[in-house]
Amino acid sequence: MRNIIILFSLVIFFVIYHKGHQQIRNDLSKPPAEREVYYRIGTIDPRFNLSESEARSLVLEAAKVWEEPLGHQFFFYHPKAAFTINFIYDQRQQTTNERQQAERVLNDNQGRNQSATDNFQQKQSELTDEYRRHNDELAALNERISQHQQMVALINARGGATPMERQSMQMESDQLDRDVAEFNQKGTNLDVEQVNLRHQGEVIQTQVDDYNQKAKDYNQKFVGHPFEAGLYKGDAINIYEYGDKDELRLILAHELGHSLGLKHSRDPHALMYPTMGEQDLANFKLTQADIDLLYGRANPY
């Protein structure tokens, strides 16, 4: 009798166990607009620093990119879904980290160059004003010298200066000499400032060239960033890399599009465009091109 009871409970256990492993499979034969995709979160590499609940809410948000504008639910979370969404850490995430580091350096450089350029232009315009004032001073000084010379000529024509006139003319002449010396000194100072400023301009130019080279390297290395950041492979979506949550949401939405059976779009603003770049990551709105793909009205790319 005891043996029978044990056998009986084993059978129940087997039934529960077996039921526990029944998986929900997605019907891939349906057209995209009619497809229901059941998914669950598979593995998340801890290096992504992403919890399962964060991943789930991001997938929900990604699903809404499709579902909200169309007023239709395509994606269903189910703990027994055969279809999984996985976060797999490899060289690609490493590349993304490098890209972010390069972006920080570029932004820092750009900010520095901008303030250096602003400062340079400010100084240049001040120096131009000073040169203008200096030229005005030259004209005033020449006028005073010429008046002085006319006075000297007048006095000489009159037969010479009285002692008082001589003293006064001498004082005027000494003052003119001091003013000319001061004027020349000012001119020399301005020339030195100009040389310094020109040197400063060359330094800024070097920094700008350096920035441009870095930007060129960055573009060659990172721009046209393919959506290979994620991969749809029939029974799973694998996410390999993302910059931030906005990017991840869009990558997920793109791969969810593939899970509906969609191919790529030619429209660079579309979610289903093969690369990221033109799309508005933070406030993405599904494009007409995406909707046309969904309803089979567009030729896939």
- Using CB under 5 A as the criterion, which residues of the chain lie in contact with Zn ion when the complex forms? 227
CB of 105 vs Zn ion, minimal distance in Å:
30
Distance CA 301, CA 295 (A): 15
Distance CA 238, CA 88 (A): 7
Distance CA 36, CA 60 (A): 14
CB of 197 vs Zn ion, minimal distance in Å:
53
Point out the residue whose Cβ comes nearest to Zn ion.
Answer: 227
For residue 286, give the nearest of 300, 273, 301 by alpha carbon: 273
For residue 263, give the nearest of 5, 25, 31, 9 by alpha carbon: 31
End-to-end CA distance of the chain: 69
- Please name the amino acid found at residue 144: R
The angle subtended at Cα 39 by Cα 33 and Cα 45, nearest 5°, is: 135
Q: For Zn ion, which is the closer residue by CB, 222 or 301?
A: 301
CB of 275 vs Zn ion, minimal distance in Å:
9
CB of 107 vs Zn ion, minimal distance in Å:
29
Burial 262-273 (b: 16+ CB within 10 A, else e): bebbebebbbbb
Q: For Zn ion, which is the closer residue by CB, 227 or 242?
A: 227
Burial 276-286 (b: 16+ CB within 10 A, else e): beebebeebeb
Residue 274, token pair as written in the block = 């093969």
Q: For Zn ion, which is the closer residue by CB, 95 or 113?
A: 95
CB of 121 vs Zn ion, minimal distance in Å:
46
Q: For Zn ion, which is the closer residue by CB, 211 or 240?
A: 240
Q: For Zn ion, which is the closer residue by CB, 211 or 229?
A: 229
CB of 75 vs Zn ion, minimal distance in Å:
17
CB of 262 vs Zn ion, minimal distance in Å:
9
Q: For Zn ion, which is the closer residue by CB, 74 or 227?
A: 227
Chain centroid to Cα 297, Å, comes to 34
Q: For Zn ion, which is the closer residue by CB, 66 or 227?
A: 227
Phi and psi at residue 238, to the nearest 5° = -110, 130
Contact between residue 117 and residue 270 where contact means Cβ atoms under 8 Å apart: no
